[in-house]
Structure 1
Amino acid sequence: MMLEPSIDALQDKIKSKYTLVTLSSRRARQLSDSKNVMVDNPKSVKYVGMALEEIEAGKLYIED
């Protein structure tokens, strides 16, 4: 089973796995309330997957 997006692609955007998990879980909670996805036609039907797709697309990030 392949996970999309891959952890390698996500870690190119956000280096820390802890930060990646925290950011995606917070965004998934927001998506469950608002259903306002920032990517067109997400592949995932689950909110965490949608949040990870947003990170991969560069729409969701952590400011330095």
Structure 2
Amino acid sequence: MLEPSVDDLQTKISSKYTLATIAAKRAREIQETDRVLVDHPKSNKYVGQALEEVMAEKVFVKEDSK
């Protein structure tokens, strides 16, 4: 997968571990529902589509308020 690049994705979510976890969870949701939050995704694969959603800021990490 070339797009979006990991460097670009880390501007949205700084932790690679968190990014991988969110992408995997969202990819399962896309597979089950067939609903993608971005218009005309470039990727045909669920993980790629999930990462495109992260890049488009449709999927993000909710920070804990302490």
TM-score, structure 2 as length reference? 0.93
Sequence identity, in percent?
56
Q: Kindly tell me the number of residue pairs found equivalent between the two proteins.
A: 63
1:24, distance to aligned residue in structure 2 (A):
0.1
After TM superposition, the structure 1 = structure 2 runs for residues 1-64 of structure 1, keeping only pairs within 5 Å, are 3-64=2-63
Alpha-carbon distance in structure 2 between the residues aligned to 1:46 and 1:63: 25
C-alpha RMSD of the superposition: 0.8
Runs of 4+ in 1 over 2 A off after TM superposition: none
1:7, distance to aligned residue in structure 2 (A):
0.5
Between structures 1 and 2, the one with greater helix share: 1
